[in-house]
Amino acid sequence: MIPAASGNPRCIMHLDMDAFYAAVEILDHPQWQGLPVIVAGLGPRGVVTTASYPARKFGVRSAIPTASARRLCPDGIYVQPRMARYAELSQAVMARIGQFSDQIETLSLDEAFVDLGPSLRLFGSGRQIATRLQQEILVHVGLSASIGIAPNKLIAKLASEAAKPGGIREIAEHEMRAFLDPLPLRAIWGVGEKMDAQLQALGLRSVTQLLAYPESALRSALGSFADTLRQRCLGVDARGIESAREELSISAEETFDRDLKDLSTLHRELMALSERVAQRLRASGKRAGLVRVKIRLPNFSLLTRQAPLAPVSDVTQRIHNLAWQLLQRWWQQQDSPQVRLLGVGVAEFARADQAGPDQAGPAQTAPVQADLFQDTAPRRGLDQIADALNARFGAHALRHARALRRAPDVPKS
C-alpha cells in the first residue's frame, strides 16, 4: 500500500452487506433460507428494493417494478420493507467496524468505507482485519458482508463488488492495472446507462479500450468528463474518508395503487409514514427540528410543504400532527385534489442526548399551529416499547390505530 499524508499506509476497505434488506428478512424468518425473497413495495406501482440471491437467478433486481418481479418470479416471497429493523442491524454492523477503526464513512445502511491505515500496526494486515470483521458480523449480527481492500476508495469499491457474495478481495497497488483493464466501462463510477450507450457507440466497452482511445477524440465526444473518466480508468482517486458524514434527512413515502381523493384515507397513510420515519429517527439516536410533507400529483408534478418542529422531537405523534397540519392546509387550498404519492420526512437533527426539552427548531418556513403536546415523555416511552416489539415480532406487530383504520379529520390530543 502507498503511504498516506499522515504517514500511515494507504489502506482503504469498502464493506458492502450482501442483499442486506432481504438478508435481514431471512435472518428473522429462517424458514426462508435458500428461497427467493424480494423486499419491495407491494402495490401495483411498487418497486423492488432488494432481492435475495436465489431471487436474482430469476432476473429480479432492485429498482424494477414489483409487477415485473412477480412475472419473473411468481413464487417468490414478497415482503414490505421494515426500515426500523434494518437501521437497528446497520447500527450493530457499524459498531463492529468501529472496533477496528474510527475512520468510517457511512454511505448507507449497508455500505461503508473504512480507513485501515492507522489500524494495521494494531490488528495486522488489511486482509487479516477484513477476515476478523467479516467473522464478527456473521457471528454477532448473523449477516454476510463482502469486503474490498485497496489503496483508494475507487478500487476498494470495485473490489468488494468482485468479492460478492461473502468474499474478500484485496488489490495491491501493483495489481491495479491487471484488475482494472478487463472491467466493462459500466463498472466505473459515473458511467450510467446513457453514458455506457454513448461509449459503446464509440466502440468502447472495456477500460483497456478507453485508455487506448485518442484523448482528443474522447474529449470531443464526452467534453470535460473525458478527463475524469480517464483518470478513474487509471485507478486514480485521491478522496479521503469523510468520517463526519451524517444522514441529513430521514423520509418515507408511498406510491398508491390508485390516486387518492379522500382526505381521511390520506390521514391514515400519513400516520403509517410518520411511524416509519419516527422509528428510523429513534434508531439513529436523533431528534428532528423540521417536518416535511411530499406530495406527487396524478400529472407527476411534485410539491413539498415543511415547518419547524419545536422543541425538537422523535415522538411519532408529534411528527404526525405537524405533517397532518401541513397536508390539511394544502388540501383545503385545492379544487378536487388527488394524490398519487405521499411522503413524510424529517431534518434539522439534534442528538437525543444533547437536545434539551425546550430546545427550539429552525426558523419557521410555514406558519402552523403550535404543537399542543407539552408532556411527551409517556408517548416517547410508548414509542420505544413499540420499537422493541416491532423489531422482535415484525414491523406491524404494534401500530397506531390511526394507521389501521379510517381516522377522523382532526387528530386528537
Of 180, 207, 225, at which residue does a domain stop?
180
Do 399 and 299 sit in the same domain of this protein? yes
Do 265 and 217 sit in the same domain of this protein? no
Count Cβ atoms below 10 Å from residue 206 Cβ, excluding itself.
18
Residue 39: beta bridge partners?
50, 79
**R_g (Cα) of the chain, nearest Å:** 24
Query: 110 lies in which domain range?
Result: 1-180
In Å, what is the CA distance from 203 to each residue of 156, 188, 196, 207, 296?
27, 16, 10, 12, 41
Query: What pTM does this model have?
Result: 0.67
Which CATH number covers residue 227? 1.10.150.20
Nearest to 172 by CA among 12, 15, 17, 14: 12
Do 172 and 93 sit in the same domain of this protein? yes
Do 70 and 158 sit in the same domain of this protein? yes
Amino acid at the residue 172:
A
Do 204 and 319 sit in the same domain of this protein? no
Residues 6+ apart with CB under 8 A from 159: 14, 148, 149, 150, 169, 170, 171, 179
Phi-psi region of 86 (alpha: psi -120 to 50; beta: other; left: phi over 0): alpha
pLDDT at 352: 65
Q: Is residue 238 part of a domain?
A: no
Do 308 and 176 sit in the same domain of this protein? no
Do 306 and 376 sit in the same domain of this protein? yes
Do 98 and 31 sit in the same domain of this protein? yes
Q: Is residue 373 part of a domain?
A: yes
**381-404 burial: b if 16+ Cβ within 10 Å, else e:** eebeebbeebbeebbeebebebbe
Residues labelled catalytic: 111
- What is the three-class DSSP state of 260? strand
Which CATH number covers residue 342? 3.30.1490.100
Q: Is residue 19 part of a domain?
A: yes
In Å, what is the CA distance from 317 to each residue of 123, 203, 249, 371, 401?
46, 57, 18, 10, 12
Q: If the chain, 413 residues long, is cut into consecutive pieces of 10 residues, what is the mean pLDDT of each piece?
A: 54 96 96 97 89 97 94 96 89 91 91 93 93 95 97 96 96 95 94 92 96 95 93 93 73 86 93 90 87 92 92 92 95 93 91 50 43 51 60 51 44 37
Rounded to the nearest 10 degrees, the angle between the axes of helix 316-332 and helix 377-393 is 100
- Between CA 225 and CA 220 the distance in angstroms is 10
- Between CA 344 and CA 311 the distance in angstroms is 18
pLDDT at 258: 87
Do 202 and 348 sit in the same domain of this protein? no
- Grid cell for residue 403: 394507521
Do 227 and 132 sit in the same domain of this protein? no
- 187: DSSP letter: G
Note the residue count of the chain.
413
Residues 6+ apart with CB under 8 A from 137: 93, 96, 143, 144, 145
Q: Is residue 240 part of a domain?
A: no
- Between CA 107 and CA 102 the distance in angstroms is 15
pLDDT at 376: 56
CB 52 within 8 A of CB 64: no
Do the bridges between strand 168-170 and strand 145-150 make them parallel or antiparallel, or are there none, so unpaired?
parallel
Q: Is residue 10 part of a domain?
A: yes
Secondary structure element (H or E) that encloses residue 274, with its range: helix 263-283
Do 374 and 274 sit in the same domain of this protein? yes
Domain count, the chain: 3
Do 115 and 42 sit in the same domain of this protein? yes
- Between CA 111 and CA 90 the distance in angstroms is 9
Q: Is residue 189 part of a domain?
A: yes
HSE value, Cβ hemisphere, 13 Å, CA-based, for 242: 7
